[in-house]
Structure 1
Amino acid sequence: MSDSKNDIEEILTKVQQHELSIAAAQAKLKHYDDLGFAKIDLHRPQRQGFPEVIFGEGKTQEQIVSIINSLNHNNQTILVTRIDDDKAQHILSIYPTLEHHPTAQIVCTPIANINKSNNVASIISAGTSDIHIAEEAAITAEVMGVTVKRFYDVGVSGIHRLFENIDEIRASKVSVVVAGMEGALCSVISGLVNHPVYAIPTSIGYGANLAGVSTLLSMINSCAPGTSVLNIDNGFGGGYNAAQVINMLETN
């Protein structure tokens, strides 16, 4: 797959000089890989800065492996979200060099192999029950090249736990706040920092929590400026948005 003007000219020159067939040139210029059940967007790194991410839920093991094959063949970073243990073990039996993060339900390119940013993103959870969503955000950001600091179980019912870490949180360039129940933590943090805050409501809570709907509405109605709210349990979205902020700062 090619994108730049120079790359395109090189391909056309090779066709002209009979060093490359027309079919091979078309394959290089095509921006997606048609697998029949899926069309893999190979041009996404050029447009958005990161390859297509595989949403594992609802896909078969075979479909996920086929998509990984396509991305791997094109030297693209692998990130599979919402992957259960059975699917993860099947993938690792074929690609043993990939990493499985069970809490985050993610299979990905090894994080140790990815260069990390100088700027830091803080991933913050209100309670221990929110950690699986916070980890989805944290691992997503790390796979996208971000240095992450985790601050877990620092919710408003024990606010002193947050204040013990507030200087480190303030030193980061973006925060992702994950909370269930009434979701108050995002407003507290947004009122204490001068950087963007991405709030993720979780489905953690009792009856009137309505599987995260009451938390979502509470966060949307936050009076603290600088807060942007993601969908319920969308750790991936929070981590991705945080990574975009950090990577923009790194490139500038």
Structure 2
Amino acid sequence: MDSFVWDKDRKSRTGIAEAVFCNSKSDADLAAIIEYNMMQKSSVLFTRMTIEQWQVLPSSFQEKLDYDQASRTAILNFVKPKERSSDVCIVSAGTSDLAIAKEAQRTLAFNGYCAPIYADLGVAGLWRLIEKLDDIKQHKIVIALAGMEGALFSVLSGLVDMPVIAVPTSVGYGVSAGGQAALTSALASCSPGILTVNIDNGFGAANAAIKIIKQFHPVTVA
């Protein structure tokens, strides 16, 4: 029995190619998926790949994969974006949100979009956000990440004229409840124009941004 069935037509059907969520996959299943796509000469994004999963892969597989430990992503046959894009940027409330921010950034890069990260701009030091506001406003979409009480989403959306895609993160103490407080804050915000994805879902936020961008001008990755 095959352990996976590859959805090779997903990109033509939805605009987003199939990606591989590595969490809970066995080493054997992950290796089989990589081998299949190496034979197909496909470009594939792998998310939530731990360093342990990476280390047990054969060296011949590792040579074909661009692995980034910080974001826990790997890209098979990676074609880096050639030019910097002004379409989307990423704003994180704290340094602790950077792993998820980088997951979003790598997902965008896999799809041909360069996206800068503006890190550590949370509302505990509001001057930091204000200082970077002109740079953020140069973009068409902003992906915002925040844990704790998720105040960044409302504040940022109240200051910019582009859509804000909120990514609640599982950063915080006690009643932050693994991102539940930030998620509730994003959904309950009185600031209009916030779109919200699941907790720690940098991948989903990036894909939402890509689908919006493609309505205006598609990017083709060789």
TM-score of the aligned structures, taking structure 2 as reference length: 0.91
Aligned equivalent of 1:245: 212
Aligned equivalent of 1:153: 120
Q: What is the correspondence of 1:8-27 to structure 2 with a 5 Å cutoff? A: none
Cα offset for 1:248?
3.1
Secondary structure of the 2:89 match is strand
Cα offset for 1:114?
4.0
Mapped pair 1:190 → 2:169: no
Structure whose CA Rg is larger: 1
Mapped pair 1:43 → 2:9: yes
- Partners of 1:114 and 1:84 in 2: how far apart? 25
Q: 1:117 to 1:43 in 2, by over 3 A?
A: farther
Q: What is the correspondence of 1:98-177 to structure 2 with a 5 Å cutoff? A: 98-109=65-76, 113-116=80-83, 118-177=85-144
Q: Supply the AA of the counterpart residue of 2:16.
A: F
- Partners of 1:145 and 1:92 in 2: how far apart? 28
Secondary structure of the 2:36 match is helix
Contact 1:51 1:76 in 2 (8 A): no
Cα offset for 1:194?
1.6
Contact 1:117 1:246 in 2 (8 A): no
Contact 1:146 1:246 in 2 (8 A): no
- Partners of 1:152 and 1:218 in 2: how far apart? 20
Q: Deviations over 1:81-112 (max 9, x none)?
A: 01110111234623213111111111114655
Mapped pair 1:90 → 2:76: no
- Partners of 1:224 and 1:153 in 2: how far apart? 21
- Partners of 1:213 and 1:122 in 2: how far apart? 24
Q: Supply the AA of the counterpart residue of 1:207.
A: G
- Partners of 1:92 and 1:168 in 2: how far apart? 43
Q: Aligned pairs, how many?
A: 218
**What are the ranges of 5 or more consecutive residues in structure 2 without an aligned counterpart?**
none
Contact 1:65 1:91 in 2 (8 A): yes
- Partners of 2:93 and 2:179 in 1: how far apart? 14
Higher mean alpha-carbon deviation, 186-195 vs 89-98, is at 89-98
Q: Supply the AA of the counterpart residue of 1:76.
A: S
Share of identical aligned residues, percent? 35
Aligned equivalent of 1:179: 146
TM-score of the aligned structures, taking structure 1 as reference length: 0.81
